[in-house]
């Protein structure tokens, strides 16, 4: 019994620390964190990283925050809540038409749902679903680090009446293998900006900022903005799988995403008429890997990694409605957010036919 306890302890420690290169030295990702109260002006996107670190994409401050959550491991109970939006509005003292859910993620250790909400007047809130009630994430006197993502020319330029014009809205945020990846939309130029920021953040380190292009049917290429993405391993190599505001699903080898480069991705699918993918996660099921895609006007989709790998060509000929790799439409429509609860279960935020926005847990066997 004692041996088992020790073994669990050792596993627990290795689970919390990554090993740097071949040196065998454990990396404490919070080593350069400071204690204080970050002034977070907006919560545009959320992602969890190692050691339960929560990354917060703050468009209004043009910064990424990494905060220590110190959440203890949880029971991993099924997450269910009816009319989440109404419950959030009531807890925030307003009506449902005044709130917008920005992002929703599951803490990898505590298995609790973290949700980012904005008031229509722009006020943010970051909440945890604790049982059947929402509580605010403590942002006072916490350990955190941050990095500015505004290094564009004339960031502070204002119009003739002194109003700041340019904003860079974070569209998605993710952590993969020591890098925080962030995509954004400008309110001015129509372009795709992707940044890959080494983590732990170092203020003197240059972040990779690059333009990534994709072609449609081999003829016209563009660098339109990325709406959502995930990073994953395909065929033994790390790839960025990105969906664009104009529907194509495009893959990029991560090792080619170097600063200042102009990288052309491979379009592997177009996901349907007037449909924008809203969220992408990876699912493992019966030894195989899949992408799960939540869509604005299509059902939840499942796409096999094997299909993507074997689809070697970029889309090159006219096709009907949707094209490229095969996908399976799952019997879940109007899914706005999806995240992994554990290896067997996923949490979905779904707008039901009765208009309610429900949070539910679904076994991967049904996906």
Partner 1 sequence: MHGRNLIVVAFIALFSDNLTGQPVVIHLSGGKAHSVTIHKAILEHYPGHPDSVFHFKITLEDQTTPLIGTAEWMDAGIRFTPLWAFSPGLRYNIHWNNRAVTCFEIPASESDPPEVNFYPRADTLPENLLKIYLFFSGPMSEGQAHNHVRILNDRGDTLNGVFLDLRPELWNEDRTLLTLWLDPGRIKRELILNREMGAPLQAGQLYRVVVLPGWRDRLGTPTRRLFSKSFYAGRADRTKPDANRWQITAPVAGTVDPLAISFDETIDYALAMNAIHVHAGKQMLEGTVKLDGKAKTWHFVPDRPWHAGNYTLIIENRLEDLAGNNLDRLFDSDLHHNESALVIRERIFQRKFRIR
* 57 three-class SS: strand
Q: Is 314 among the residues that bind partner 1 (CB under 8 A)?
A: no
Q: Is 337 among the residues that bind partner 1 (CB under 8 A)?
A: no
Return all residues near 122 (Cβ < 8 A) that are at least 6 apart. 42, 60
**Window 35 to 54, contacts with partner 1 (CB under 8 A):** 44
Q: Is 296 among the residues that bind partner 1 (CB under 8 A)?
A: yes
Q: Is 276 among the residues that bind partner 1 (CB under 8 A)?
A: yes
Q: Smallest gap, in angstroms, from Cβ of residue 228 to partner 1?
A: 11
Q: Smallest gap, in angstroms, from Cβ of residue 76 to partner 1?
A: 25
Give the dihedral sign, CA 238/308/299/283.
negative
| Among the listed residues 21, 24, 160, 236, the single contact to partner 1 using CB under 8 A | 160
Q: Smallest gap, in angstroms, from Cβ of residue 64 to partner 1?
A: 16
- Residues 152, 142, 103, CA angle at the centre, nearest 5°? 60
**Window 346 to 365, contacts with partner 1 (CB under 8 A):** none
Q: Is 165 among the residues that bind partner 1 (CB under 8 A)?
A: yes
Between 264 and 285, whose beta carbon lies closer to partner 1? Answer: 264
Take residue 350 and report the two structure tokens written for it.
């779904």
Q: Is 80 among the residues that bind partner 1 (CB under 8 A)?
A: no
| Among the listed residues 164, 259, 328, 366, the single contact to partner 1 using CB under 8 A | 164
**Window 256 to 275, contacts with partner 1 (CB under 8 A):** 260, 262, 264, 270, 272-274
Q: Is 177 among the residues that bind partner 1 (CB under 8 A)?
A: no
Between 222 and 256, whose beta carbon lies closer to partner 1? Answer: 222
Give me the residues paired with residue 209 across strands.
Answer: 195
Given the rule CB under 8 A, which of 10-18, 87-95, 233-241, 303-311 is the region that contacts partner 1?
87-95
Backbone φ and ψ of 16, nearest 5°: -90, -20
| Among the listed residues 19, 319, 326, 344, the single contact to partner 1 using CB under 8 A | 319
Contacts 24+ apart (CB under 8 A), 128-133: 129/79, 129/81, 129/359, 132/81, 133/91
Binding mask 109-128 for partner 1 (x = CB under 8 A): ---------xxxxxx-x-x-
**Distance of alpha carbon 205 from the chain centroid:** 23
Q: Is 21 among the residues that bind partner 1 (CB under 8 A)?
A: no
| Among the listed residues 215, 231, 335, 338, the single contact to partner 1 using CB under 8 A | 215
| Among the listed residues 1, 287, 321, 343, the single contact to partner 1 using CB under 8 A | 321
Q: Is 140 among the residues that bind partner 1 (CB under 8 A)?
A: no
Do you find a cis peptide bond into 187, omega within 30 degrees of 0?
A: no
148: left (phi over 0), alpha (psi -120 to 50) or beta: beta
Length of the chain, in residues: 367
Q: Which of 325, 213, 330 is nearest to 269 (CA)?
A: 325
Return all residues near 294 (Cβ < 8 A) that are at least 6 apart. 277, 278, 279, 280, 300, 335, 336, 337, 338, 348
């Amino acid at each position: 019994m004692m041996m088992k306890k020790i073994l669990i302890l050792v596993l627990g420690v290795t689970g919390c620390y990554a090993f740097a290169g071949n040196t065998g030295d454990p990396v404490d990702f919070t080593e350069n964190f400071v204690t204080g109260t970050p002034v977070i002006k907006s919560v545009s996107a959320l992602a969890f990283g190692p050691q339960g670190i929560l990354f917060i994409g703050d468009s209004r401050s043009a910064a990424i925050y990494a905060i220590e959550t110190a959440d203890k491991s949880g029971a991993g109970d099924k997450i269910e809540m009816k009319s989440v939006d109404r419950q959030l509005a009531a807890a925030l003292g307003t009506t449902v038409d005044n709130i917008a859910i920005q992002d929703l993620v599951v803490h990898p250790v505590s298995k609790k749902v973290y949700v980012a909400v904005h008031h229509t007047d722009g006020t943010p809130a970051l909440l945890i679903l604790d049982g059947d009630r929402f509580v605010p994430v403590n942002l006072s006197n916490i350990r955190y680090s941050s990095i500015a993502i505004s290094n564009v020319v004339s960031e502070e330029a204002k119009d003739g009446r002194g109003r700041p014009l340019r904003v860079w809205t974070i569209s998605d945020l993710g952590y993969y293998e020591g890098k925080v990846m962030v995509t954004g939309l400008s309110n001015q130029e129509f372009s795709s900006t992707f940044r890959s920021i080494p983590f732990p953040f170092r203020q003197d380190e240059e972040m990779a900022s690059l333009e990534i292009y994709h072609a449609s049917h081999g003829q016209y290429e563009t660098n339109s903005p990325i709406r959502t993405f995930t990073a994953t391993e395909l065929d033994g190599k790390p790839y960025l799988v990105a969906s664009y505001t104009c529907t194509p699903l495009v893959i990029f080898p991560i090792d080619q995403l170097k600063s200042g480069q102009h990288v052309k991705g491979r379009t592997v699918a177009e996901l349907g008429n007037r449909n924008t993918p809203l969220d992408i996660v990876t699912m493992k099921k019966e030894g195989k890997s899949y992408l799960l895609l939540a869509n604005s006007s299509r059902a939840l989709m499942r796409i096999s990694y094997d299909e993507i790998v074997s689809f070697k060509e970029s889309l090159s000929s006219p096709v009907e409605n949707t094209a490229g790799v095969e996908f399976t439409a799952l019997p879940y429509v109007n899914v706005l957010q999806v995240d992994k609860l554990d290896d067997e279960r996923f949490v979905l935020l779904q707008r039901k036919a009765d208009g309610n926005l429900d949070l539910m847990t679904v076994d991967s066997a049904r996906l």
